[in-house]
Amino acid sequence: MKILLIGDIFSMAGREMIDKHLENIKNTKGINFIIANGENIAHGNGITNNYYKFLLEHHINVVTLGNHSFANHDIFNFIDDAKNLIRPLNYPKGVPGKGFVTINYNNLKIVQCNKYFNFSLDSVLLANFIKIKPTTKKIIDLGTGNAPILLILSTKVKKNVDLIGVELQKEVYKLAVKSLKINNLINRINLLNMDIKNISDYYESDVFDIVVSNPPYFKYDCDSKINENEVKSIARHEICINIDGLLAVSKKILKNKGSLYLIHRTERFIEIMSKLRKNNLEPKRVQFIYPKKEKDSNLFLVEAVKNGNSSLKIESPLIIHNKDGAYTKKIIELFGGSNDTKEL
């Protein structure tokens, strides 16, 4: 799936660019999904119904708005009926329109919004790296976000396998709940809105067959440059839990010979391998991820087994993009063999 993000489409010049060039860009680059900001398309003064329809007719799937959402009063005549139009989520309650959109991934619907981190390729790679055994009964996702990993796993495991997600941030937890309801999985996946460090209040030690986590990638200190959006900064930086805390919790709740699955940045590979072993979590499988064949690895996947024997398999490298920027055949296969994505 290739997504094109277009910034502010401003007035006549912006409309002309869309009219003359967007279809060619979409076809030559193999774009599957287009998100564009349209809050200034009406002569730099908001958006009208006609210009909203203009954007849809030019293959734009989702139109976003910002602080100029209501600059043109025509918006009030159509915003509540515009399925592909989203205004900022953090507007006060009762403001017309909606602040989130639902996308499809491989027959699953995942709720996203323009204020928080979205479902990403990292989650797809991690979910597909997990090996489910016939004996697997309980899986927990620590820091589940809007629950993409659990949604994907729900299509791969038997119905008697317990799926649990833990998410600290209330706003993101609510998005996950919406995703479960839309997919009729609210009774299939159990979500907990709590701090990962307190998970022992809910579960005893040695109960999970699999622990999975797409954790914050970046260390945090007083000099760290973080996003002003608190939700995003907590998702990206080790503000609420660091890798040491995550591994300690994972070690405690995993069964003997249970598996921990992580995705992380390659620059922290040595550190994480060392800390896994200090927690009696023996690395067993590693796969390095490369943005392109000629580029350096930027991410890696790892499976570590609690009290496992010392033997490590380095799997074939996973290349994300071909030279032309299109997804490789392997990545397309992970998306169910289809690049198609729709807004509902």
- Reported as a single tens digit per residue, the pLDDT across 98-124 is 887 766 655 666 665 555 555 568 888
The residues with which 229 forms a beta bridge, in sequence order, are: none
Using the predicted structure, report yes or no on whether residue 220 has a pLDDT greater than 80.
Answer: no
Where do runs of H (alpha helix) occur along 130-268?
148-153, 170-182, 230-236, 243-253
Name 274's Cβ contacts closer than 8 Å, sequence gap at least 6.
Answer: none
Which one-letter DSSP state was computed for residue 80?
G
Q: How far apart are CA 117 and CA 63, in angstroms?
A: 18
Q: Which residues contact 276 (CB under 8 A, 6 or more apart)?
A: 247, 260, 282, 283, 302, 304
Percentage of the chain lying above the pLDDT 70 cut:
86
Output phi, psi for 340, to 5 deg.
-80, 130
- Please choose, from the candidates 259, 301, 282, 306, the residue with its C-alpha nearest in 3D space to the C-alpha of residue 133: 259
The predicted model scores a pTM of 0.69
Least confident interval from 63-77, 79-93, 203-217, 315-329: 79-93
The SS3 call for residue 331 is helix
- Give the pLDDT confidence score for residue 183 in this predicted structure: 85
Of 209, 163, 169, give the one whose Cα is nearest residue 188: 163
Tell me the per-residue pLDDT of 278-294, one tens digit each, with 9 for 90 and over: 999 999 999 999 999 99
What value, to the nearest 5°, has the Cα angle with vertex 35 and ends 29 and 41? 110
- Cα 32 to the center of its chain, rounded Å: 18
Model confidence at 341: pLDDT above 60: no
Amino acid of residue 240: C
Token pair of 111 as six digits: 């709720």
Q: Which of 182, 56, 40 is nearest to 111 (CA)?
A: 182
